A and B are shown apart, each in its own frame.
Chain A
Amino acid sequence: MNGQTTSGQSRGRTYGLAAVLVLQALCAVFFIADSIEDLRVDELNLHNAFEAVVGLVLIIGVVFGAREMRRVLDRAGRAETAVTVASGALGSVIEEHFRKWDLTEAERDVALLAIKGFEIGEIAAFRNTAASTVRAQLTRVYAKAGVAGRSHLVSLFIDDLLGGALAGMKGAESETPPAAAS
């Protein structure tokens, strides 16, 4: 969600910068064309010279504005990549845990839906099964993971993201044996 706000902000900033650049480029061309025309008609005087200088300064402004815009676009691109990497990392952390807990295919699906925040009734509807089946599957998942319930399960992954994947994996491992024994 945070990523979306950032990308929205940078989008607005990009178009703001683009508008300024377009306006500057237009002004530069008009000033330069005007000063050329004036130079043809009049002698070189302070007024013409000033217009030509304004045109040149505007062009320099466009160059610097364009460089700034490139930085903004690059930063937005990097932020987007970082978000994808992070969500990809969370996915692989979850996958890794599921593998360690030795979940069945059905249990994986149910566990993932539960992590995503769906209620038991909703999960049952998605999977075309009875709510009691889902409840039983979730109970097995919690037992294999060695957690008390859904919030505990979710907090395992949050913990991993905050403290690093490896630290979390070790914590989960130490909790696994008693669960596997039951």
Chain B
Amino acid sequence: MSGQLQTEERAWDPLVRITHWTIALAVLLNYAIVDEESVLHVWIGYVALAMLGLRMIWGIVGTERARFTSFPPSPGAALAHLASVFSGSRQAHASHNPLGALMVYGIWAMLFLVGATGMVLDIVGEHGMLGEAAEETHEVAATMLIVMAAIHVSGVLLESRLTRTNLVRQMTWLSGRSSKDV
């Protein structure tokens, strides 16, 4: 029973999960599937920005684990964590681990950059100094965002293996079902 409760406790709250997967889907759609020139691309971008904004608000007033104060960006702690991974530590973290926290802030910053430049492109167009700069930044930042997302996914899988906790389950709705059956 206590084990069940722990998985329930460790699962991310609904708002974190909703914003996470909406943004993930939006990034994937806009990068790989939807035509860049289409209106749909712009709308998906605004949806992602809205979810990012919601997550930022949630990071201030949200649940304990979702708040920024639970995973402050700290390069020193991240390096220490990296060292402990190589020395074979198996410690699980209540919120993000320090390295994962840095990556989360990096992804958020990149999302904001892609979204903001996308908004400039939508409003100003790709012409003129501002438009051209925005377009360049938009493309470079989008590519970097995809690279960071790939690192994020591999980091999650690695951490799941090392700490023997199913981090993926915490972000999805799989554990909610089973604990409800108890």
Contacts and interface: CB of A to CB of B under 8 A. Distances in A.
Contacts of B8: 80
B61 A22 contact: no
B57 interface: yes
B9 interface: yes
A4 B181 CA distance: 10
A29 to B, nearest CB: 4
Contact of A18 (B5, B14, B47, B122): B14
Interface stretch (A68-76, A144-152, A156-164): A68-76
B11 to A, nearest CB: 11
Interface size, B (range) = 20 to 34
Interface stretch (A32-40, A135-143, A165-173): A32-40
A28 interface: yes
B15 A25 contact: no
B51 A70 contact: no
Nearest to B42: A33
Interface string A57-72: 0010011001101100
Interface in A7-61: 7-8, 11, 14-15, 18, 21-22, 25-26, 28-30, 33, 36-37, 40, 59
B18 interface: yes
Contacts, number: 74
A130 B177 CA distance: 39
Contact of B1 (A18, A30, A62, A84): A84
B61 A33 contact: no
Contacts of B1: 84, 87
Contact of B57 (A36, A63, A84): A63
A70 B63 contact: yes
Nearest to A29: B50
Contact of A14 (B14, B19, B122, B180): B14
Contacts of A70: 61-63
Interface string A74-90: 10010010001001000
Contact of A66 (B47, B62, B124): B62
Contact of B49 (A4, A11, A29, A74): A29
Interface of A: 4, 7-8, 11, 14-15, 18, 21-22, 25-26, 28-30, 33, 36-37, 40, 59, 62-63, 66-67, 69-70, 73-74, 77, 80, 84, 87
